[in-house]
Amino acid sequence: MKVTYLKCRPTLKFPILAWLIMIFQGQNPFNKKSSSHRAVQFGPNSIIDCTGGKGVKVNTECNFLDKYTIVDTIDFNLDSTQSDLWHWVETIENKPYDYLDIFGDLLRRMFNFFSFKKIGKNWDRLTCNEVALSFAKRFYNVCIGDPDVWDLILTDKLMKEISEGNYGPCNAIGS
């Protein structure tokens, strides 16, 4: 079964928070290939992502593309069934968005403060890249450890390594 990791940017004209995320991830927000959002697509019309205000939700591709432009993808050939994938979705769907994770990371990067991220340190609230980390943990047995220490760039690197077969269970980059 084909599953795709999506790197995206908002379609809004002035996505200030997205620009800040890109800047603090070392990206130029005015480069159209820069991105601030991650999602996982399975099937031709199902995308699971996590956004502020809505938390973890399954979107149709049409609804998702109204809000985001996909700038890059990483494909996986998953050996699991559609039923296994939906079971995973059910375990994370409707989890709330982790605002403290995002703002704590921004403050730490802006002012070199001690991170507020340690308030979370669990899988009860998620950010967009933590949806992908949950996918890697469930289907590739990758030890993630504290999901709050993973930024977009580190998550991208892990997903690329998994797609290329260059990973080992419990040998993740950030664990």
pLDDT digit string, tens, across residues 118-148: 555 567 788 999 999 999 999 999 888 878 7
pLDDT at 172: 46
* 92-120 pLDDT, tens digit each: 999 988 877 777 777 766 776 655 545 55
Q: Does some domain include residue 88?
A: yes
What are the CA-CA distances from residue 47 to residues 4, 9, 120, 166 (Å)?
9, 15, 25, 25
CATH number at residue 118: 3.90.1720
Q: Does some domain include residue 146?
A: yes
- pTM comes to 0.88
Secondary structure (DSSP) of 73-93: EEEEE--S-HHHHHHHHHHHT
Q: Does some domain include residue 89?
A: yes
Q: Does some domain include residue 174?
A: no
Q: Does some domain include residue 139?
A: yes
Q: Mapping DSSP to helix (H, G, I), strand (E, B) and coil, where does residue 3 land?
A: strand
Task: Give which of 113, 171, 119 is closest to 149, Cα–Cα.
Answer: 119
Q: Does some domain include residue 170?
A: no
Domain coverage including residue 151: 2-163
Q: Does some domain include residue 103?
A: yes
- Residues 102 and 2: their CA atoms lie apart, in Å, by 30
Q: Does some domain include residue 58?
A: yes
